[in-house]
Amino acid sequence: MDCNLSRLLLTLGRADRGADDQVALDGHLSGCAACAAFARRSTGFDAAIASAMAAVPVPTTLREKLLTNAYARRGEAWRRTTYRCAALAAGVLLAVGLTLGGLYRYRPVLDPVALKTATEREWETRESAVRDWLIGQELPPEFPAELDFDFQHYVFHGKGDLGGRDVPVVVFQNGREQARVFVVRESRLNTQELRGVDGSVWKVTFVPHPTAAGVTYVVLYTNGLDGFRRRPLGSPA
Amino acid sequence: MGSPGVRELIDSHSDSLYRYAYRLSGSAADAEDLVQETFGKAITRLHQLRQADHARQWLFRILRNAYLHRVRDERKRRTVPLDAVGDLPAAQESDTPAVDPADLQAALNDLDESFRTPLILFYFEEFSYRDIAAQLELPIGTVMSRLARGKAYLRSRLAAHDPDPDADAPRRATDGL
């Protein structure tokens, strides 16, 4: 180790010198009077500055003040957090309350006239659908006047089996009573055998269409035959 | 190791932080305010301190930042410019008797913060060069350079009051500027 490196290492703190550097430095100082004198001066100066640097009287009340302030800050932070949570909860409650109040206050008002209109429109829609379907089957769109069925009891239209043939049928139901209206072309199905054959819970009626020749409505009633006539809406069934 | 509690931090570090703050600011009142501010910030950021053995560096950094924030607008302070000063030659050095703390503070007060802080950390808290570099977020070479100039300045400034008439009159760090 030469003198330049020795003095460079001496300017560093002991913590910054590696163990190997320290051994080499000690060896150099033991044989170099000039560097040893430099080291003494440098060390003495550093010690004097370090001693003066640390000579700061710390106020005896400092620790207590710091603890007091720290706990006050913690309490303040805790209170602030609590207040924020409480304010948030109150805000949420208020918003929910206002929303529910608004929903309750402005909930839709049931209008009986509108309800009646909507219901009738739905029945008309069903009747209209059946009418269109019958036209599609090349059958008269309207039932005969004797079969003035109320479409509030309508449940189905389509093809149904009658005597082994698929026959257009419209089904109505009112409670336990059911009416199956088969629309039959006499040219395709002989209905003679059905005439006059009634059971204990079922009855068959035949209604020829007044204008469409050869079209007969075979109506199979089950459990009664009075529940399907049109009545004003709201009147007892 | 988890983060320490507030009481533990205060018990372990309040004295050294106060001394550091005093040497930085040169005022007992400012030092106390800075320490209060440091612990106030530390409490709110305690979750950032992952390891207890990093607490000292962490607190010193908070305090220095608080100090820099305070003096940011006080650039009018007259300080000794050392940027152009190299190390004093070894021949100028002399054995230094006990240094008066007030004289030391006066000398520190005249230094720019960029030189003052490394000196304080080096002498007072025995930070290694690497610690100081990390603390100030500077390259270690810059820290070495600033410490060398700062030491030279202190030597010249404090040796000027050396009562030993036989000692060589040291050249002031700012002579010739």
Residue B53 lies in a domain: yes
| Chain A residues within 8 A of B15 when measuring between CB atoms | 58, 62
The helix-helix angle for B113-124 and B101-109 (nearest 10°) equals 150
| Cα→Cα distances B45→A127, B6, B55, B59, B62, Å | 76, 11, 12, 11, 10
Residue A4: pLDDT band with limits 50, 70, 90: confident
A83 inside 8 A of chain B by CB: no
Residue A135 lies in a domain: no
Range of the domain at B99: 90-159
B75 or B97: whose pLDDT is higher?
B97
pLDDT in tens, A128-180: 999 999 999 889 998 898 888 888 889 899 998 887 888 999 999 988 889 99
What's the total number of domains in chain B? 2
Residue B112 lies in a domain: yes
Name every residue whose Cβ is closer than 8 Å to that of residue B166 and which is 6 or more positions away in sequence: none
The answer on B107 and B67 residing in a single domain is: no
The pLDDT assigned to B84 comes to 47
C-alpha distance from B74 to closest chain A C-alpha (Å): 24
| Chain A residues within 8 A of B7 when measuring between CB atoms | 67, 70
What is the residue whose two structure tokens read 């810059």?
Answer: B142
Nearest to A52 among B11, B32, B104 (CB): B104
Residue A88 lies in a domain: no
Contact B14 A42 (CB under 8 A): no
Looking at mean pLDDT, say which of A32-36, A169-173, A223-227, B147-151 comes out highest.
Answer: A169-173
Residue A150 lies in a domain: yes
- Nearest-Cα residue of chain A relative to residue B36: A66
The answer on B118 and B65 residing in a single domain is: no
Residue A70 lies in a domain: no
Contact B19 A58 (CB under 8 A): yes
Residue A41 lies in a domain: yes
pLDDT in tens, A58-74: 998 898 888 888 888 77
pLDDT in tens, A93-111: 999 999 999 998 888 888 8
**What share of chain B has pLDDT > 70, as a percent?**
73
Mean pLDDT of B43-61: 82
The answer on B134 and B101 residing in a single domain is: yes
- B60: CATH: 1.10.1740.10
What's the total number of domains in chain A? 2
Contact A73 B44 (CB under 8 A): yes
Residue B97 lies in a domain: yes
Please give the model's pTM, rounded to 2 decimal places. 0.53
| Chain A residues within 8 A of B44 when measuring between CB atoms | 73, 77
Which of A54, A78, A96 is the last residue in one of the domains? A54
pLDDT in tens, B165-177: 333 433 434 333 3
C-alpha distance from A93 to closest chain B C-alpha (Å): 30
Q: Which of A152, A137, A132 is nearest to A231 (CA)?
A: A152
- B155: CATH: 1.10.10.10
Query: Which ipTM score applies to this complex?
Result: 0.72
Residue A180 lies in a domain: yes
Mean pLDDT of A190-197: 73
Residue B51: pLDDT band with limits 50, 70, 90: confident
Q: Is residue B35 over pLDDT 90?
A: yes
Residue A98 lies in a domain: no
The pLDDT assigned to B36 comes to 92
Range of the domain at A150: 142-222
Residue A43 lies in a domain: yes
Q: What is the average pLDDT value for chain A, to the nearest integer?
A: 85
What is the residue whose two structure tokens read 């070479």?
Answer: B141
